[in-house]
Each structure stands twice: as C-alpha cells, then as structure tokens.
C-alpha cells in the first residue's frame, strides 16, 4: 500500500513512520533519492541519511560541478519541529520536483532527518523535554542512574569546556564522539570531504541563524560570507511571513561559549566553508501540530534563499571540490 503523504505535516512523525516514508520515496523516485548511509543508534534504531540529486544512479559528476549540502535535524531530541522541517525539505525536493530548480540541481543534498532517534522517541513517549541521547552513563553513577549525552557538546572542538556532570542536560560525554550518533555525523563528513560546502544543523526555537564559532568570539576568516548567506535566509523569511531572525556568530549571539558543537567541528576540522545553525522559529519545542506545515514552509523559504545565495555569489568557495567517496 502506498504511503499516505497527505497528513505528513499535520502531525509529528515517529521514527518508524519516517522510515516508511523514506522507503516509499525510494520506490517512487528511484532516480533521485537513495539511502546513502545507515548507522545504528545506541538502542538499535536505524539512522538513515538520504542523498538527493537529479540523477543518483549516475556516478557523481566531474567534481568541479557538484557540491554537497549536509543538513541534519533532531540532534536535540525535544526539537521535534526540526525533524518535520527536514522531512519537508525532502518532500519539496522530490514531490514538488524542486531538485530540478537551476541552482538546487547543482548540489548533492545529503539529509539526515533524524540524527538522534533514541532521544526523539523517548521525548515523544516519556519526557517531552528530553534533549540528549539515551545511553546509560557510568557503571553505577550515584544512586539515580543518569542517561545520555548532549550531542551538540560531543564534537572534538573545544570539547573540554563542556559540562562534566552526567546528569546535566548539557553533559559533554566521557570523550569526544562517545556517542554513536555523533560518530555517524563525523563519518558522514569524512565521506563528503572535501565536497561539502554547506552544513546546516536544524535546531529550534530561538529565531536565529548562527555561524561559527560557538566556543569563542574569535570569528572565522570567512565570517562575512557566512553572515551574508545567513542574512539572505533571514531576509527571505522576513519578506515572506514577517518573521524576524537574528544572524551572527554563535558565541556572540548566545553570550556564552559553547564547546563541542557540530558547526565548529564542520568549520574548523572538516573545513566546510559555510556551517550554520538555524534555530527554527516556533512556539516552544513542540508547536501545535496545526502549525507544522506553516513553519516548514517558512523555514524552507529561508533555507532555499541561503542555498541560492551561496550558489549565486560565492562561486570561488565552491571550487576545489574533490571526488565524492560515498561508499
């Protein structure tokens, strides 16, 4: 039976339903989407990453004219709306054929719609405000056993400044990449290097678009380009719906240094020129389901504008891609 897509953005979807949707898309759009990577979470859930481009069956073209965008969502378990936004991107690219748009078709879209499925399911079923992974910590930590690591403190850039308290919502982990979920992101970057030109990590709900660095106010050399791209997204959304996003470096906007973040990892270690957090504008972490569609549409306008801005104005940044090593 075909998957019913009509209600996809009228409710928050389970890990299982997301899997079914992706399977259905692979059936229906076999030339444009493939499941590109399958990792397994601590609790044994499949973590899928899809690759979308106009011709997935062809070997990646001459490395100079196809670049990658990596988008992830659900790094923080309770930020449900980000998972819907990631699915919406997949939906628009395929079912509305936006992958054929002139500037979009030049990219390989690599999308990880649910980075932390254990945390997401736990948040759906038991504790809406859960943020971390679900791996039990320590052999016997105090009397209460504490669980989980904040994935966005677990990357190996300024990791040491993160929280060492097991029970903290911001616990950094015993070491960088202690979590299967963050190792998976690291492995994706390694497969994509050096073709990945744009990394977008979806969070909610502060209405900000942030670029590196998160751990220090020292800006990256290309900060003006990142600021320009972020502003292109913010301006497009302001025009379309009146929502007002703030743009800036993460450490500046957040007023405190954050270690172990994925954008700093992408930019400083993997040398991805544009590495942004988009804190999707929503009413709390779990906006009413009736608002999902609207929030997804608004976010997609911003994301599309950022991709267009990169493709149109920063051609030299896009040079120097290597061959993709996807397997």
Query: Between residues 191 and 203, which has the closer beta carbon with respect to Zn ion?
Result: 203
d(CA 11, CA 55): 31
The CA–CA distances, whole Å, from 51 to 81, 94, 137, 208 equal 21, 11, 34, 27
Which spans of this chain sit near Zn ion (rule: CB under 5 A)?
Answer: 76, 203
Strand partners, 130: none
d(CA 13, CA 81): 10
CB 50, min distance to Zn ion, A: 22
- The closest alpha carbon to 109, from 123, 97, 125, 93, belongs to 93
d(CA 130, CA 248): 27
d(CA 147, CA 167): 7
CB 117, min distance to Zn ion, A: 16
Structure tokens at 165: 């308290």
CB 214, min distance to Zn ion, A: 12
∠ CA 198-318-204, rounded to 5°: 15
| Residue 279 known to be catalytic | yes
Query: Between residues 201 and 321, which has the closer beta carbon with respect to Zn ion?
Result: 201
The values of phi and psi at residue 247, to 5°, are: -120, 145
Query: Between residues 262 and 321, which has the closer beta carbon with respect to Zn ion?
Result: 262
Query: Between residues 60 and 259, which has the closer beta carbon with respect to Zn ion?
Result: 259
CB 121, min distance to Zn ion, A: 17
Q: From the candidates 179, 279, 289, 298, give the one annotated as an active-site residue.
A: 279
Q: Which residues are catalytic?
A: 279
């Amino acid at each position: 039976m075909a998957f019913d897509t009509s209600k996809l953005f009228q409710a928050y979807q389970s890990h299982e339903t997301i899997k079914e949707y992706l399977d259905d898309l692979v059936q229906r759009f076999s030339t444009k989407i493939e499941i590109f990577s399958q990792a397994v979470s601590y609790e044994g859930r499949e973590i899928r990453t899809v690759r979308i481009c106009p011709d997935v069956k062809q070997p990646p073209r001459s490395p100079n004219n196809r670049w990658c965008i990596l988008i992830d969502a659900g790094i923080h378990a309770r930020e449900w709306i980000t998972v819907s936004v990631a699915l919406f991107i997949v939906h628009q690219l395929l079912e509305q054929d936006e992958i054929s748009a002139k500037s979009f078709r030049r990219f390989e879209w690599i999308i990880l719609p649910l980075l932390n499925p254990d945390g997401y399911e736990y948040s759906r079923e038991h504790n809406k405000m859960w943020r971390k992974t679900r791996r039990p910590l320590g052999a016997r930590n105090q009397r209460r056993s504490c669980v989980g690591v904040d994935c966005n403190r677990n990357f190996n850039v300024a990791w040491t400044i993160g929280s060492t308290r097991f029970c903290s919502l911001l616990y950094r982990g015993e070491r960088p990449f202690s979590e299967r979920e963050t190792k998976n992101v690291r492995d994706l970057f390694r497969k994509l290097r050096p073709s990945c030109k744009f990394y977008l990590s979806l969070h909610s709900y502060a209405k900000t678009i942030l670029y590196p660095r998160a751990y220090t106010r020292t800006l990256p050399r290309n900060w003006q380009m990142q600021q320009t791209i972020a502003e292109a997204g913010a301006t497009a959304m302001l025009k379309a719906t009146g929502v007002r996003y703030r743009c800036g470096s993460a450490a500046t906007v957040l007023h405190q240094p954050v270690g172990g973040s994925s954008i700093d990892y992408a930019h400083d270690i993997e040398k991805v020129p544009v590495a942004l957090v988009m804190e999707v504008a929503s009413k709390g972490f779990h906006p009413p389901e009736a608002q999902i569609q609207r929030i997804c549409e608004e976010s997609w306008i911003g994301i599309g504008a950022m991709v267009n801005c990169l493709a149109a104005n920063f051609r030299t940044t896009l040079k120097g891609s290597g061959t993709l090593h996807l397997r």
